[in-house]
Amino acid sequence: MIRNIHKGSFFRNISGVFALVLLVSGCGDRTDSTPDIKQAPESDTQRPNILFIVADDLGYTDLGIYGSEIETPNLDRLARDGVMFSNFYTAPTCSPTRAMLLSGVDNHPAGMGSMYREIAPNQVGQRGYEEHLHTRVATIGELLGDAGYHTYMTGKWHLGYRDDNSPAARGFERSFASLAGGAGHFDLLPIVGPGNAPYREDRDIVDELPEDFYSSRFFTRKMIDYIDSNRDDDRPFFGYLAYT
């Protein structure tokens, strides 16, 4: 579904979150207000489509390109054709790191000084420990949406449970989000405790999943569906695909 990969970039993250950014040959005329993108696709009149893939709990050397005994030929090929980074500023846990990835700022201004429900008693109510991606920072989804991009998100969010801090409220026009730190790969089994694992599609809580649900396959197919829904309108897309 996604062809003409132009550039792939790996970001090292010692907290166990890996990100892979693909710039894909895009469509849509560049306007004067759109900043130039270094190493852009062949035509200067086009803006790239961007697919941002995040792998959760993946060690630095779990990829072949970084020395793993596990064979990962497709990811290795993308890395060799692209740019590999080895000095990404990170937080020691998941959701603070995701806040930095999506906002480009330190996790404290982004409201995620620590992971959700993991703050110390003296941090409760303090600025920087609001336990959701705070509106005092802009997300890449909001910025690219303002620049004329379609914006899509599927997979793990872990940056807020309420509607007003969901992906739909933070710049993603379509989203299917696992809100917690994890969930059953095959069903609504929560990572801890009773009840169902929390999901949102756009702004709506999801009460059931397809019978053949498997998280990685489902999140991938949802992203493809979102991308295909607007393929013919000449606007580029930004996709944030976050596996759990």
Strand-pairing partners, residue 84, are 10
Catalytic residue selected from 94, 108, 132, 150: 94
Strands, DSSP E only, in 107-195?
150-156, 174-178
Which strands sit side by side in the sheet containing 83-84, from one edge to the other?
A: 83-84, 5-11, 17-24, 49-56, 237-242, 150-156, 174-178, 199-201, 204-205
Burial grade of 34 (CB within 10 A; 0-12, 13-18, 19 or more): middle
Catalytic residue selected from 108, 132, 134, 158: 158
Known catalytic residue: 94? Answer: yes
Q: Which of 210, 184, 211 is CA-nearest to residue 195?
A: 184
Q: What φ, ψ does residue 241 adopt, rounded to 5°?
A: -115, 105
Active-site residues: which are they? 94, 158
